[in-house]
Amino acid sequence: MQYRRRVMEPSLEQELVNKVTDLLTILSKRDALTIFLLAKDGLNAEADTPQKIGLTRKQYYTRLKQLVDTGLIDKSGNAYLHTTLGTFVYQQHILELMQHVSNAKQMKMVDILKRSTEFSEGDIAEFVGKIAGLNLETTIYRQVRFAATYEQMVSDVIEQLEFAKSEILLASRFQNDVIINNMLRKADAGVNVRLLVDKEIIQNYIRNAGEKLKIVDKNSIERLTVAVNPYYPRFPNVGRKIGNVPFCILIVDRKRVGLEIIDRFDIDKFKYAFFTKEEVFADEVRKIFESWWLRAEEDNPNSIQKLFEETVKSK
pTM over 0.85: no
Average pLDDT over residues 68-77: 90
Same-domain status, 135 and 259 = no
Domain final position from 29, 57, 92: 92
CA distances from residue 251 to 102, 116, 144, 157 in whole angstroms, order as listed: 32, 22, 14, 10
Same-domain status, 115 and 154 = no
pLDDT more than 70, % of the chain: 68
Same-domain status, 108 and 82 = no
Same-domain status, 178 and 282 = yes
Q: Which residues contact 59 (CB under 8 A, 6 or more apart)?
A: 31, 50
Same-domain status, 300 and 154 = yes
Do the domain assignments include residue 294? yes
Q: What DSSP assignment string belongs to 213-266? A: HT--SGGGHHHHHHHH-TTPSP-TTEEEEEE--SS-EEEETTTEEEEEE--TTS
Count the residues in the chain. Answer: 315
Same-domain status, 151 and 185 = yes
CA angle 121, 257, 205 (to 5 degrees): 125
Do the domain assignments include residue 37? yes
Q: Which residues contact 225 (CB under 8 A, 6 or more apart)?
A: 232, 300, 301, 304
Same-domain status, 179 and 43 = no
Same-domain status, 40 and 54 = yes
* 50-59 residue pLDDT tens: 888 889 999 9
Same-domain status, 119 and 198 = no
We report the CATH number of the domain holding residue 199 as: 3.30.870.10
Do the domain assignments include residue 5? no
We report the CATH number of the domain holding residue 16 as: 1.10.10.10
Same-domain status, 161 and 306 = yes
Query: What is the C-alpha to C-alpha distance for residues 84 and 297, in angstroms, rounded to an integer?
Result: 50
Same-domain status, 29 and 45 = yes
Helix axes 221-228, 301-314, angle to 10 degrees: 90
Do the domain assignments include residue 97? no
Domain count, the chain: 3
Do the domain assignments include residue 70? yes
According to DSSP, the β-strands at 249-252 and 272-277 are unpaired
Is 288 a residue whose pLDDT tops 70? Answer: yes
* 152-188 residue pLDDT tens: 888 889 888 988 889 999 999 887 878 888 888 888 8
Same-domain status, 188 and 297 = yes
Question: Would you say 204 and 5 are in contact if contact means Cβ atoms under 8 Å apart?
Answer: no
The domain of 51 spans 10-92
Q: How confident is the model at residue 121 (pLDDT cuts 50, 70, 90)?
A: low
Do the domain assignments include residue 266? yes
Query: What is the C-alpha to C-alpha distance for residues 70 and 82, in angstroms, rounded to an integer?
Result: 11
pLDDT more than 90, % of the chain: 21
